């Protein structure tokens, strides 16, 4: 049986594990260890391999949900995890210093996969940090010739996470 | 007579300039005039970063040059610019503020010269669309709010105790007074009205415009009755509109392909499609294809393996 999966990626601490936990049938399997670098001020633990969740369809087919480690030093895992994926969810934390630069990193590193399978961008913490706004994200994508949905979401809201996946499937449907 | 505005970013950061360039298409769609971006001296609308030394010098030079250009001061420190500054834009750059300001610039200039946009890509109903949106914007700017009442959306203007709804399908979407609701709220004291607003589930501007556009102003879409093609480059902010589950698939379809009314209604329920297109049009997201001579023949995909899988995933997530 081939591995049907969606991949969640994004900046450290943006909420990839939380997003997966919102829709996974079980608590995500995490590979977190104590954070010892500069990220430790932001979060106590960080993912070193992947997060893993799952949903089961009516015919017992499994859809796997993988979260990549956020830190760039684990970039080798990104390439392993996306292999054969149905699509990519890119989560960007709008409270970080330069969210658009963060987005550029993921668009660069997943360029081929995005062109092949599709992606959606979920921007978190816009309620408290409204800038950059969604138009600026679209400007960033348009510079690269990419037509991808950009959604204002809260990863703690199950409906928002489902909306992200629905948007990803919507653009993949018509590619 | 066509009116053309060309915008230039003067002494601005590269990032700000890129943002402006990206917003031009939206402004061009929404405005009754043509808008484009220029990087040379040909621009007739300048946004000048007056926080920089060069920007200040340029601003002073514009004032005394007698050139017929529209200058917009952009910055944090507006001191020393003089008293007769017509257009100001404060930092940081916010897309909505830029769009609203440039729409205001073009509306004011167009009223002065009596010009109207007339291009192959424009809707004949463009003027009505603008008026419709402006009316609602003015109401909300003066403190109005939206509320659902007896299965319809109303705008309540507490200041003059009037309630508005959207006219019927035969008109062009003008606002009409809702007499029954107006009578009810005219009998409320200000305290009771304030209390009602706090208790009720109220709706903001974006939600009201989306609802009205979707369910009422059908005739604004008459220009799309033939094979004209359109798509969207950006999705509306789904958090700010009352969208339906099936809308998400349509947004995906419209983002990925140039579509026409004929092709859309083959596969989707016509009423729902028209309403959604109307809402996308009125809120400025729908992009009309300029070169209609190169219409593509997009085939609605058959129920392939992936689509079948996605249907099952949607059922599992409870959104099918």
Name the CATH architecture for the domain at B4-112.
3-Layer(aba) Sandwich (3.40)
| Contact (CB, 8 A) for B232 and B287 | yes
Supply the pLDDT for residue A51: 87
Q: Which of B8-12, B247-251, B289-293, B297-301 comes out lowest in average pLDDT?
A: B297-301
Residue, of B187 and A98, whose pLDDT is higher: A98
| Contact (CB, 8 A) for A67 and A17 | yes
Within 8 A of A63 by CB-CB distance, chain B residues are: 313, 316
Closest residue on chain B to A168 (Cα): B252
For residue A56, give both structure tokens.
């089961």
Residue, of B116 and A136, whose pLDDT is higher: A136
Which residue out of A139, A140, A165 would a mutagenesis test of the B interface target, given it has the greatest number of B Cβ atoms within 10 Å?
A: A139
Place B123 in a pLDDT band, splitting at 50, 70 and 90: very low
Place B269 in a pLDDT band, splitting at 50, 70 and 90: low
Supply the pLDDT for residue B171: 43
pLDDT score of B221 more than 70: no
Supply the pLDDT for residue A123: 97
Supply the pLDDT for residue B3: 61
Supply the pLDDT for residue B65: 57
SS (H, E, C) A5-36: EEEEEECCCCCHHHHHHHHCCCCCECCEEECC
B206 touches chain A (CB under 8 A): no
Calpha distance B184→B179 (Å, rounded): 9
A104 touches chain B (CB under 8 A): no
A59 touches chain B (CB under 8 A): yes
pLDDT score of A87 more than 90: yes
Calpha distance B222→B121 (Å, rounded): 14
pLDDT score of A58 more than 60: yes
- CATH 3.40.50.2300, chain B: domain bounds: 4-112
Burial of B86 (0-12, 13-18, 19+ CB in 10 A): exposed
Residue pLDDT, tens place only, B32-71? 677 888 877 678 888 999 888 888 888 877 765 556 678 8
Within 8 A of A173 by CB-CB distance, chain B residues are: 249, 252-253, 301, 306-307, 310
Q: Which domains can be identified in chain A, with CATH numbers?
A: 5-171 (3.40.50.300)
Supply the pLDDT for residue B300: 47
Supply the pLDDT for residue B78: 79
Supply the pLDDT for residue B243: 85
Average pLDDT of span B9-25: 82
pLDDT score of B117 more than 50: no
Average pLDDT of span B159-183: 67
Contacts of B151 (CB under 8 A, 6+ apart): none
Q: Is the pTM of this model over 0.90?
A: no
pLDDT score of B11 more than 50: yes
Calpha distance A146→A119 (Å, rounded): 10
| Contact (CB, 8 A) for A124 and A93 | yes
Nearest residue, CB atoms, A173 vs list B252, B318, B319: B252
């Amino acid at each position: 049986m081939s591995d049907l999966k969606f991949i969640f990626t994004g900046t450290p601490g943006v909420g990839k594990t939380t997003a997966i936990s919102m829709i996974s049938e079980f608590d995500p399997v995490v590979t977190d260890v104590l954070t010892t670098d500069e990220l430790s001020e932001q979060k106590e633990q960080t993912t070193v391999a992947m997060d893993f969740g799952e949903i089961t369809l009516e015919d017992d087919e499994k859809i796997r949900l993988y979260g990549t480690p956020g830190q760039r030093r684990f970039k080798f895992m990104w390439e392993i995890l996306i292999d054969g994926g149905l699509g990519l969810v890119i989560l960007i934390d709008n409270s970080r210093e330069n969210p658009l630069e963060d987005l550029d990193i993921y668009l660069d590193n997943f360029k081929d996969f995005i062109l092949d399978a599709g992606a959606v961008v979920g921007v978190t913490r816009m309620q408290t940090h409204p800038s950059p706004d969604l138009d600026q994200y679209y400007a960033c994508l348009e510079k690269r010739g990419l037509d991808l949905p950009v959604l204002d979401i809260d990863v703690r809201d199950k409906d928002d996470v489902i909306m992200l996946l629905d948007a990803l499937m919507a653009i993949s449907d018509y590619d | 007579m066509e009116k053309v505005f060309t915008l230039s970013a003067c002494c601005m950061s590269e990032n700000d300039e890129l943002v402006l360039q990206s917003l031009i298409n939206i402004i061009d769609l929404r405005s009754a005039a043509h808008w484009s971006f220029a990087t040379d001296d040909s621009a007739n609308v300048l946004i000048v970063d007056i926080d920089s030394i060069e920007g200040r010098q340029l601003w002073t030079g514009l004032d005394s040059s007698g050139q017929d250009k529209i200058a917009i001061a952009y910055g944090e420190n507006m001191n020393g610019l003089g008293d007769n500054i017509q257009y100001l834009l404060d930092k940081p750059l916010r897309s909505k503020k830029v769009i609203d300001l440039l729409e205001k610039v073009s509306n004011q200039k167009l009223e002065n010269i009596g010009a109207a946009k007339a291009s192959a890509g424009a809707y004949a109903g463009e003027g009505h669309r603008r008026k419709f949106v402006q009316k609602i914007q003015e109401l909300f700017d003066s403190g109005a709010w939206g509320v659902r009442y007896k299965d319809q959306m109303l705008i309540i203007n507490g200041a003059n105790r009037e309630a508005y709804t959207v006219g019927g399908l035969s008109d062009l979407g003008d606002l009409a007074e809702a007499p029954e609701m107006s009578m009810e709220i005219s009998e409320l004291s200000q305290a009771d009205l304030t209390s009602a607003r706090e208790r009720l589930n109220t709706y903001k501007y974006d939600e009201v415009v989306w609802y009205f556009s979707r369910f009422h102003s059908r005739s604004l879409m008459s220009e799309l009755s033939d094979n004209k093609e359109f798509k969207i480059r950006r999705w509306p902010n789904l958090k700010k509109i009352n969208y339906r589950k099936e809308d998400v698939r349509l947004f995906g379809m419209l983002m990925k392909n140039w579509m026409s009314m004929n092709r859309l209604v083959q596969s989707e329920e016509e009423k729902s499609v028209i309403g959604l297109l109307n809402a996308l049009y009125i809120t400025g997201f729908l992009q009309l294809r300029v070169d209609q001579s190169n219409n593509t023949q997009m085939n609605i995909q058959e129920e392939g393996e992936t689509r079948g899988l996605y249907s099952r995933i949607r059922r599992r997530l409870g959104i099918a």
